Amino acid sequence: MIHTDTLFVVPPRAPFKAEPRGLGTWQRQRLSSYLLDVAAAARVRPQAILDSYVDWRAHKRTGRFGKCMRLDLINGSGPSARLWVSAVSPLVGREDLDDLTLLPLAHAFGETPGVMSKRRRWCPQCLYGDVAEGGYPYERLLWSISYVPVCPLHLTRLETACPKCGISQLSELSRHTQSGFCGACKSWLGRKQSEPNAVDSQTALGAYEIWVARDFANLLALDRESAALLSRDRAVGLLPGVIATAYRGNRMELCRHARFPKITVDVWLQGRSLPTLSALVRLSWVLQMPLRSLLAGDKDVAATTPRSEVSVEFLPSKSRRKPLRGCDWARIERNLKGSIDSDQPYESWHAAAQAQGIRPSLLRARFPDLAARIRDAGLQRRREAADARQRARALAFEEATVQCMQELISRQIYPDQLKVRQALRELGFCIDWFAATKVFASVRSRLAGELSTLGRRAAVHGRGTNRNGNAR
């Protein structure tokens, strides 16, 4: 018997619709960028979707966007990414949103902290290429991995600060963020060429950064079935064969080459612990074995792996304790005092200790007065740099205001605040109402002669201009 009441039932439909880009490739879109596309397609702000559809434990009283959330973990491989995928999937009617995060590689990466970058990063040439090919710009998942410093396609360093306003976005998802545009001044982040940020592949550090970027790109290009086979246990299982083949069975040679403590490798081989992702990246570079083969436990590749001669001097040592025998404390004290009076003091006490090769706590216990002076000098330098950036932005804003007012005056239009604000937004400036009011008054006093000329010219022709700039 056929029930006619079920034949005319409209199936449930998703309230939003957007197609993720780059699926199945290493250039796959990240979830935070996809959320921005969903909000843009629905003509709403990301916060509206967050407040109305995402059930997150947050302080509703403050109304602050992303309150009590780790927005940098949206694209990761932990509970935050799982919660966001489970919340967004019903909204768009898709079951493959975990491919926009590192969840398919969760078993391979583990719960290692520091995998996701805490700052928004992008490749200007990739964004420019998206628009040049007739599409919309989107931000890649690869850019969210903190271990990847360069773009594997254009071999340029990823940028974190807007080239126009100099502001660095602290989160990949914010109230006013739009893919490919600065979250502060709304200026375009794409660029056709980026020669100053090009990476020199001839240097050891440049070759290492390119290797790591391409290594993670190959991991993101894997399908779900291949990614499920990757694990850190398989990587540990390859170490005995690699030690026997490339290092003639001597574990100490591997430790010296990779700058690992001997106890660390022993703990791995005994099964008491698993290597972190940073240790696996270092092993991949030292052995010149792709991270994909290392995590897959490819014994054929391990059996034919010779000892490489790559340099690791630019990488920090994994040893927790620094040898202090024969330490020249007088030389260290002279270096620290000289840095205070120099033109370029250390940014922080941690940077000073790292430059001397000694733990910050031990160096602070030895030189407490110098530690306080270097800390204060670094803080003062950062404040001066922030003030200089603020003055530069204010000067650029004032000059742009003068340019916009002069352009309106030349077109016989009264430069009221609304028209000037609209022109400034088209130039990519993010306007603060109270600060802009003072700037407008200052610029009007500078252009008082041209404004009076505009009024006399309108009177000669028998007409005037109202505050909207229209002829009467």
CA atoms within 13 A of residue 10's CA, in its CB half-sphere: 3
Residue 232 or residue 345, greater confidence: 232
Q: 413: helix, coil or strand?
A: coil
pLDDT at 213: 95
Please state whether the predicted TM-score (pTM) of the whole model is above 0.85: no
d(CA 271, CA 237): 10
Looking up tokens 């530690």 gives: 371
Mean pLDDT across the chain: 80
Query: When comparing pLDDT for 241 and 15, which is higher?
Result: 241
Q: How confident is the model at residue 459 (pLDDT cuts 50, 70, 90)?
A: very low
- So what's the pLDDT on residue 141? 94
Range in 207-216, 338-347, 418-427 the model is least confident about: 338-347
Residue 28 has pLDDT above 90, yes or no: yes
Predicted confidence at residue 432, as pLDDT, reads 64
Q: What is the pLDDT of residue 195?
A: 63
pLDDT > 70: percent of the chain: 83
Q: Over the range 289-327, which residues count as b (16 or more CB within 10 Å of their CB) and which as e?
A: bbbbbbbbbbeebbeebeeeeeebeebeeeeeeeeeeee
Contact 39, 46 (CB under 8 A): yes
> For residues 361 and 142, what is the distance between their CA atoms, to the nearest angstrom?
35
Are residues 89 and 95 in contact, defined by beta-carbon separation less than 8 angstroms? Answer: yes
Q: Is 185 exposed, middle or buried (0-12, 13-18, 19+ CB in 10 A)?
A: buried
For residues 72 and 125, the model is more confident at 125
| Cβ atoms 346, 355 nearer than 8 A | yes
pLDDT in tens, 282-292: 999 998 999 99
With both helix axes pointing from N to C terminus, report the angle between 31-41 and 79-92 in degrees, rounded to the nearest 10. Answer: 30
Instruction: State the Cα–Cα distance between residues 114 and 91, nearest whole angstrom.
Output: 30
* Average confidence (pLDDT) over 90-98: 88
pLDDT of residue 14: 65
> What would the two tokens of residue 453 be?
């000329």
Q: What mean pLDDT do residues 299-316 have?
A: 76
The stretch 423-440 carries a mean pLDDT of: 73
> Is 29's pLDDT higher than 90?
yes
Does the pLDDT at position 414 exceed 90?
Answer: no
CA distance 276 to 113: 9
With beta carbons less than 8 A apart as the criterion, state whether 97 and 141 touch.
no
Distance CA 71, CA 64 (A): 13
pLDDT of residue 152: 94
pLDDT by residue (tens digit) across 374-390?
888 888 887 887 788 78
Question: What is the distance between the terminal CA atoms of the chain, rounded to a whole angstrom?
Answer: 77
- Give helix then strand counts, H and E, for the chain: 20, 0
Closest to 36 measured CA to CA, from 18, 52, 13, 51 = 18
d(CA 427, CA 39): 24
Per-residue pLDDT reduced to its tens digit, 135-183: 889 999 999 999 999 999 999 999 988 887 777 877 767 666 788 888 8
Q: Average pLDDT of 393-422?
A: 84
CA angle (309, 310, 314) in 5-degree steps: 140
**Per-residue pLDDT tens digits for 41-50:** 888 877 777 7
102/406: higher pLDDT: 102
User: Distance of CA 109 to CAs 28, 80, 217, 239, 288, Å?
Assistant: 18, 15, 14, 18, 19
Task: Write down the pLDDT at residue 471.
Answer: 47
Short-list 65, 25, 59, CA closest to 218: 25
Q: Stretch 218-246: mean pLDDT, rounded?
A: 90
Lowest mean pLDDT among 30-34, 248-252, 430-434: 430-434
User: E strands, 246-309, where?
Assistant: none
CA-closest candidate to residue 230, choices 277, 278, 287:
277
Mean pLDDT for the stretch of residues 238-253: 88
pLDDT of residue 460: 47
* Pairwise CA distance, residues 34 & 88, whole Å: 10
65-89 as b/e, with b when 16 or more CB fall inside 10 Å? bbeebebbbbbbbbebbebbbebbe
CA 29 to CA 83: how far, in whole Å? Answer: 18
Cross-strand pairs, 178: 181
pLDDT at position 455 over 70: no
DSSP state of 306: P
Task: Return the closest-CA partner of residue 125 out of 76, 160, 159.
Answer: 159
Lowest mean pLDDT among 21-35, 93-107, 319-333: 319-333
pLDDT band at 17, cuts 50/70/90?
confident
> Residue 236: enclosing H or E segment and its boundaries?
helix 232-246
